[in-house]
Amino acid sequence: MTSSITASFEPAKNRLVFLLNEINSLVFESPDPNLSYEQRENLYTARIQVLADKIDKIQLCIKSLKEAYEMWLSYIQTITTKKREEEKVFESILEGGQGLFRVIHEGQEAIITLTRHKNETEQKLEGILK
């Protein structure tokens, strides 16, 4: 049972780490002021779509990780004979630079940052639509 639970962490965790690395490489530059109104509108619209997509994907990964974590906690609380051994295995999943809690936290920080960029972009789009 524990191996299937821990195995369920890995795809979502790896996907979240990939998304976080991808997000860290994103560059949000203001468009060239010489671009036409339509070009700036298209750029902002595309940026909003990309940011919304990244937010959705990160939220999905975090949700999956939290569900697997809850399943793990529930399982750990029901076992008695190998509880200590299982907890040690789980500790290794939680700790370190790529630990579960760290990855979840980085995902939540990324959502905050992306949401801010999305809101700023929406405001800029509204500004050029007026």
Query: 8 is in which domain, residue-wise?
Result: 2-22+32-129
In a domain, 18, yes or no: yes
pTM above 0.85, yes or no: no
Residue 27 within a domain: no
Domain count for the chain, please give it. 1
Tokens of 128: 């050029």
Helix/strand/coil for 95: coil
- Report yes or no: 28 and 36 within 8 Å, Cβ to Cβ: no
- Looking from the CA of 120 toward its CB, the CA atoms found within 13 Å total 10
Per-residue pLDDT of the chain (130 residues; tens, 9 = 90+): 667 777 778 888 899 999 999 999 988 888 898 999 999 999 999 999 999 999 999 999 999 999 988 888 888 777 766 667 777 777 777 776 677 888 888 899 999 999 999 999 999 999 988 8
